[in-house]
């Protein structure tokens, strides 16, 4: 619109003034048109009418108007300009700023608003996706989506934009954290292309937990916390087409044959948690995962299990297991005596890494899978 009677700035500031007072309806602007204080406080030339406010913001909602990009860019620049505190997490010797991305369904049951659909939470509403930066949780990106939209639909593009906005806020390394709903190679490609670290929960889908238990028994470190409960931590990596370096997964597998009350189980209870990550171990075995809590709940290639065995290097895998053990076992092991035993085992295990380079660590895929 050329030479509008009400400028875009007046329209935007007027609506912000309403929101600050807990008012969201466009009709709520009418009482303020005759208010002398409202335009002075917000430095308005003219207070727009309700129809003008509605029509202008409807136009602003279109992608062609570009208002959304302007608001997000200015919001990111404002955080940097005011030097807002931004707390990162320790990843080895490097401090990374977490960028948490997730869908948060809104409950709009009983309404007939446009875009309200059944969400995966079991109620009618919207399914917006948010990107929060730092432990303070500054919102750097948001996208309103219909309730029936799949969590991964358009997420790769959203992730790319979110990383760009995050870099407007800070020059520190970015650590992307996503849950199992966003377990997709598309997201991994974005992280590799943008050269950011990531922790993404793996979605095991229909993969049998017994398979991961065998992987853990073959290539992980075991700690028996109590009788009938074994915990394994470890690391695997494998090559994938389209990636410039091997992909890495960290696993934490728990096998229970006796419950906490001492009751023996007929069928072992297996708990598996797997994460995609780009964080690597230092040569000396120190962990890059210290102090990092991945998001709670993500792509699994059908042929991945076969490529694991041909893609891993025994020596490097042992070093990875060594530092994973140092990272996870202090939390897993409760008793001080068990902690001392685990620390001693870790030290002895790390000492054998250089000698183990020439030794095969596990069976071939065909033999292993058939067993």
- Kindly state the helix (H) or strand (E) to which residue 97 belongs, with its residue range: strand 94-103
Give the percent of the chain with pLDDT over 70: 74
Is residue 247 pLDDT above 50, yes or no?
yes
In the block, tokens 């998001």 appear at 295
Tell me which of 160-164, 197-201, 274-278, 314-318 is least confident: 314-318
- Kindly state the helix (H) or strand (E) to which residue 159 belongs, with its residue range: helix 155-169
Picking from 115, 112, 103, 110, the residue whose alpha carbon sits closest to that of residue 146 is 115
Q: Which residues contact 313 (CB under 8 A, 6 or more apart)?
A: none
Is residue 185 pLDDT above 90, yes or no?
yes
H-assigned helices in 29-145: 37-42, 50-60, 67-81
CB 365 within 8 A of CB 309: yes
State CA 196 to chain mean position distance.
12
Give, to the nearest 10 degrees, the angle between helix 185-194 and helix 155-169: 30
Determine the 3-state secondary structure of 104 from DSSP: coil
Task: Give me the sign of the Cα torsion angle 136, 141, 144, 150.
Answer: negative
Structure-block tokens of residue 4: 């509008």
CB 321 within 8 A of CB 221: yes
Q: So what's the pLDDT on residue 2?
A: 54
Return the HEC string of 133-152: ECCCCEEEEEECCECCCCCC
Is residue 198 pLDDT above 50, yes or no?
yes
State CA 48 to chain mean position distance.
41
CB 332 within 8 A of CB 225: yes
Sketch the domain layout of the chain as residue ranges: 8-65, 90-196, 209-370
Q: So what's the pLDDT on residue 157?
A: 95
pTM (two decimals): 0.70
Cα–Cα dist 148/116, whole Å: 8
Cα–Cα dist 345/339, whole Å: 10
Picking from 3, 12, 83, 75, the residue whose alpha carbon sits closest to that of residue 43 is 12
Neighbours of 161 (CB within 10 A): 15
Return the HEC string of 199-266: EEECCCCCCCHHHHHHHHHHHEEEEEEECCEEEEEEEEEECCCCCCCCEEEEEEEEEEEECCCCCEEE
Q: So what's the pLDDT on residue 4?
A: 63
Q: What is the DSSP string of 259-305?
A: -TTSPEEEEEEEEEEEEEE-----TT---S-TT----------TTHH
Q: Are strands 94-103 and 174-178 parallel, antiparallel or unpaired?
A: parallel
pLDDT tens for each residue of 280-326: 754 333 344 434 444 433 333 333 333 333 333 333 444 444 444 44
CB 76 within 8 A of CB 132: no
Is residue 368 pLDDT above 90, yes or no?
no
pLDDT tens for each residue of 124-166: 999 999 999 999 999 999 999 999 999 999 999 999 999 999 9
């Amino acid at each position: 619109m050329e030479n509008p009677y009400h400028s875009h700035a007046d329209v935007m500031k007027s609506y912000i003034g309403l929101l600050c007072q807990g008012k969201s309806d466009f009709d709520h602007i009418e009482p303020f048109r005759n208010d002398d204080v409202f335009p002075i406080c917000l430095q308005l030339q003219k207070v727009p009418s309700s129809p003008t406010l509605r029509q202008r913001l409807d136009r602003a909602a279109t992608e062609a108007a570009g208002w959304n990009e302007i608001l997000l860019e200015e919001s990111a620049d404002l955080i940097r300009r005011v030097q807002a505190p931004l707390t990162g997490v320790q990843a080895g010797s490097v401090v990374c700023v977490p960028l948490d991305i997730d869908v948060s369904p809104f409950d709009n049951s009983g309404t007939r608003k446009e875009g309200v659909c059944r969400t995966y939470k079991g109620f009618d509403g919207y399914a917006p996706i948010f990107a929060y930066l730092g432990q303070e949780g500054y919102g750097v990106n948001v996208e309103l989506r219909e309730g029936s939209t799949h969590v991964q639909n358009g997420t790769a593009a959203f992730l790319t934009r979110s990383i760009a906005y995050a870099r407007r806020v800070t020059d520190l390394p970015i650590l992307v954290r996503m849950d199992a709903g966003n377990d997709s190679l598309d997201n991994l490609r974005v992280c590799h292309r943008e050269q950011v670290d990531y922790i993404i929960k793996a979605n095991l889908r229909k993969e049998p937990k017994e398979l991961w238990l065998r992987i853990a028994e073959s290539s992980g470190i075991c700690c028996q916390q109590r009788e009938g409960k074994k915990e394994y931590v470890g690391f695997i990596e494998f090559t994938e087409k389209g990636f410039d370096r091997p992909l890495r997964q960290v696993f934490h597998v728990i096998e229970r044959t006796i419950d906490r009350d001492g009751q023996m189980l007929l069928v072992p209870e297996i708990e598996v948690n797997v994460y995609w990550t780009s964080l690597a171990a230092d040569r000396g075995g120190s962990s890059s995962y210290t102090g990092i809590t991945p998001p709670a709940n993500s792509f699994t290639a059908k042929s991945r299990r076969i490529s694991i065995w041909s893609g891993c290097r025994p020596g490097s895998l042992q070093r990875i297991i060594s530092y994973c053990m140092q990272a996870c076992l202090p939390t897993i092991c409760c008793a001080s005596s068990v902690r001392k035993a685990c620390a001693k085992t870790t030290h002895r295990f790390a000492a054998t890494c250089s000698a183990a380079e020439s030794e095969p660590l596990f069976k071939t895929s065909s033999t292993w899978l058939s067993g």
